[in-house]
Amino acid sequence: MITTDHAQLNRAALARSTAVGDSLDSAATQAAGLILDWLTDGPLSLNELDRLAQERGLSYQRVREARETLVKAGRIRLRNRRFELTRKAN
């Protein structure tokens, strides 16, 4: 389980990342921080990410935008049909 402190650290690191933070609006930045938090516990499929986002009330468009930006920035990758953190994200 992710602690609040860990979640705050992920969002702070994300905000400092010019490759990610500059290309997203605040809602997508929040979604990107949550994606990084969720992937800290291990890889997740697209369906699992969408389910977690839906539980948080996040829009599909914002989560998709955040996910694509994180992939382009090299923070997460799709491997064996599951998203996972890259070494760059740690």
Average pLDDT for 25-34: 84
pLDDT in tens, 41-64: 999 999 999 999 999 999 888 889
CATH number of 4-89: 1.10.10.10
Give me the amino acid identity at 29.
Answer: T
pLDDT band at 18 (very low <50, low <70, confident <90, very high): very low
Average pLDDT for 72-88: 91
Spatial distance between the Cα atoms of 60 and 79, rounded to a whole number of angstroms: 21
DSSP secondary structure letters along 9-62: HHHHHHHH-HHHHTTS-HHHHHHHHHHHHHHHTS-B-HHHHHHHHHHTT--HHH
